[in-house]
Chain A
Amino acid sequence: AQKITQTQPGMFVQEKEAVTLDCTYDTSDPSYGLFWYKQPSSGEMIFLIYQGSYDQQNATEGRYSLNFQKARKSANLVISASQLGDSAMYFCAIEGSSNTGKLIFGQGTTLQVKP
C-alpha cells in the first residue's frame, strides 16, 4: 500500500523568503508519480508540480521546485520568494504504477506567509 506522510501540520514563513514543505512516501511500486497541490481557503485544489520516479532531474515550475531524493523516499516542495498569496494548505500525493490516476494524499501542511 502507498502512503504519504507530511509531518508539518503548520508552517510560517516571512514574505520573500524560501520555505520547504516536507513529504515522505512509502510505496513498493517501481514506477510512480509524485504531485503537489495547493488548496487556498476558498477550497479549490490547484496543481503545482509533478515528479516522475524515473525523471533524471528535479522538477521545477516557476517559484516551485521539488527536492526529490529517491533513496530517502522524500519529495519536498520548495517555494522560493514567498508571497502572501502562497498562504494555503499544501498537499503531497502519490500515484502508483497502476496508472489509474488514483492519488493517495497526505494530511497536508498549512503555510502562512507573514508580511
Chain B
Amino acid sequence: DSGVTQTPKHLITATGQRVTLRCSPRSGDLSVYWYQQSLDQGLQFLIQYYNGEERAKGNILERFSAQQFPDLHSELNLSSLELGDSALYFCASSVGRGRNTIYFGEGSWLTVV
C-alpha cells in the first residue's frame, strides 16, 4: 500500500458526461500528480500541484481540469467525455516538488461508453 488513495476505483460513464476523480496523497506529501495510462499513449503526465498551486502541466486536454485543496487532496475533473478518454488515471504524490520518490495510487479505471 503506497498510502495514496484514489476514488472511485472503477467508473463507467457515457460520452458527453463529466466525472470527478479524487485523490488523497500520502501523509506529509505536498505534491500531487495526475497521470493517464492508455493502450495507445502509454503513461502520460497530465498535471502537478504543489501545496495547492499548479506546478507543471503536461498533455492535459482543455476538457480536463484539476485542483488541489487546502487539505492537499486533489480532484481531476474530466468533462465532455469521449470514447478515447477511457484509460487508467493515476494520482501520485511526493514530499517535495521534484527529485523525490513519487508514489502512485492504485488508479481509477475510467470506461466511457
- A contacts with B: majority SS: strand
Pairwise interchain contact A37-B104, C-beta atoms closer than 8 A? yes
Closest CB in chain A relative to B89 CB, distance in Å:
11
CB contacts (< 8 Å) of B58 on chain A: these are 102
Q: Are A35 and B105 in contact (CB under 8 A)?
A: no
Interface positions, chain A 15-59, Cβ under 8 Å from B, are: 33, 35, 37, 42-47, 50, 52
Interface residues of B in 66-113 (CB under 8 A from A): 88, 90, 92, 94, 97-107, 109
Cβ of A78 under 8 Å from chain B: no
Cα distance A59–B46 in the bound complex, in angstroms: 28
Q: B106 contacts A99, CB within 8 Å?
A: no
Q: Is the Cβ of A103 less than 8 Å from the Cβ of B102?
A: yes
The contact of A102 among B45, B106, B109, by CB within 8 Å, is B45
For B48, what are the chain A residues with a Cβ–Cβ distance below 8 Å? 100-102
**Least CB separation from B100: chain A residue:** A101
Q: Does chain B have a CB within 8 A of A68?
A: no
Listed by A's residue number, 10 A-B pairs whose Cβ atoms lie within 8 Å are A44-B105, A44-B107, A47-B102, A98-B98, A101-B56, A102-B45, A102-B58, A103-B35, A103-B45, A103-B102
